[in-house]
Amino acid sequence: MSCLDCSCILRTRIESIGAEKQSEGSSTQDLTDEPALYWGQSAQRGDEEISWSSDVSHYDIQVEIGRGCSNLTSIYLARHIPTGTLVAVRITDLERCSEEHLKALQNEVVLSHSFRHPNIMTLWAVFTAGSWLWVISPFMAYCSASHLLRTYFPEGMSEVLIGNILFGAISGLNYMHQHGYIHRSIKASHILISGDGLVYLSGLNHLCSLVSSGKRLKAVYDFPQFSASMLPWLSPELLRQDMYGYNVKSDIYSVGITACELANGHVPFQDIPRTQMLLQKLKGPSYCPWAINTFPRGESRIKNSRSGIDSGIGESMTHTMTSERLQTPPKTFSPAFHNLIELCLQQDPEKRPSARGLLSHAFFKQVKEQTKGSLLSLLPPAVQHVQPQVPTACSAAICKTGCILPKEREVYWEF
């Protein structure tokens, strides 16, 4: 069965949600208050309008496909029994969540319903069952861009594919920036791709608003406890935590790191000690993140095209070593792609373009001319998920809602 066409979602008004009317200082304990929380919206599939219920027996849990919220949340592929629709079900044990985790969950629930953009992930229903929070959202047949790298493109993606994926993600990011929000968690695992080849930006639980008391601030000083795994994508000014703060240009830096991630098949800074990473980020533009320690025993695969001038990214590092790991010729990327990354990774945030400016960059114009057809023409067929055998009591975890959840499956989504 193919994935539900996510572009046909009808965004209706919330039926009921306690968190929607919360003030900035309200308690995050609202998620666990009684009576049970529920809100939902309809989705259109052809002539059929689907309504999502809060009855857990209506969702046939099949296989775990992701983790999030410091492993407090598990994401499962499930089938909505009344309609047969494949959905993603995220289940979080609220009793194990800290106040900061609860705040992040609540933030995502409210903002996901508030945003109206085809490149931003939506939630179809949110409800509590006992102390468990259930979130129903569209199933993404291609999972995330990070999953595509691991499964199909371990050496990195082609420039045309990168351009198509980034354009959709930056389109959603531009919408957020226009409405005064900083995403703060841009990376390949937060870019989801549906079976129809549509790109969605997720990871809304780290969003921060620049609007306070009706006024838009020039910078914010909110520095949450990010997971250490998120540090490679964060901008120097966010990590610096000084009196100057940071703004939406911090996300543009993360776009540059994500572009390197998609091109290399590996996350920049990932293989170096955390302290060294911070020093390298803070010391200035002489550091080339996609050339150092990305392939510690070999030369970088990112080289400038011979048709263009040296962009200064990676070229100075590419002839220092030889590698037994490299079995194919190094990739070459266009000067436009190098320039895009150079602009995103400027040390001075004011020198980075806006998300709107990036969308009109020559790189995306070039990619549009090269792309024949949709994003699907650049991808292999999506893996068809089939329901596994019912796990035994010894190999399954039984949650408090009475459902049986698969255990120790390979995960593809990260939130």
pLDDT digits (tens, 9 = 90+) for 81-104: 998 999 999 999 988 888 888 888
Answer whether residue 289 shows pLDDT above 90: no
pLDDT value of position 258:
97
Cα angle: 185, vertex 187, 190; to 5 degrees: 80
pLDDT in tens, 357-387: 999 999 999 888 877 678 998 998 886 554 4
Domains and CATH numbers, the chain: 6-141+384-414 (3.30.200.20), 145-378 (1.10.510.10)
pLDDT value of position 43:
59
Query: Does the model's pTM come out above 0.85?
Result: no
Q: Are 233 and 203 in contact (CB under 8 A)?
A: no
**How many residues would you count in the chain?**
415
Per-residue DSSP letter, 6: G
Provide the pLDDT confidence category of residue 120 given band limits of 50, 70 and 90: very high
Write out the H or E segment, with its range, that includes residue 33.
Answer: none
Cα–Cα distance measured from residue 363 to residue 339, given in angstroms and rounded to the nearest whole number: 8
pLDDT value of position 259:
96
Q: Are 175 and 181 in contact (CB under 8 A)?
A: no
Write out the H or E segment, with its range, that includes residue 111.
Answer: helix 99-114
Cα–Cα distance measured from residue 413 to residue 191, given in angstroms and rounded to the nearest whole number: 9
What mean pLDDT do residues 218-242 have?
87
Amino acid at residue number 221: Y
In the chain, how long is the greatest CA-to-CA distance?
65
Cα–Cα distance measured from residue 289 to residue 286, given in angstroms and rounded to the nearest whole number: 10
What mean pLDDT do residues 122-138 have?
90
Answer whether residue 272 shows pLDDT above 80: yes
pLDDT in tens, 13-60: 223 223 333 334 343 344 444 445 565 565 555 545 677 888 899 999
Radius of gyration of the CA atoms of the chain, in A: 22
What mean pLDDT do residues 264-291 have?
77
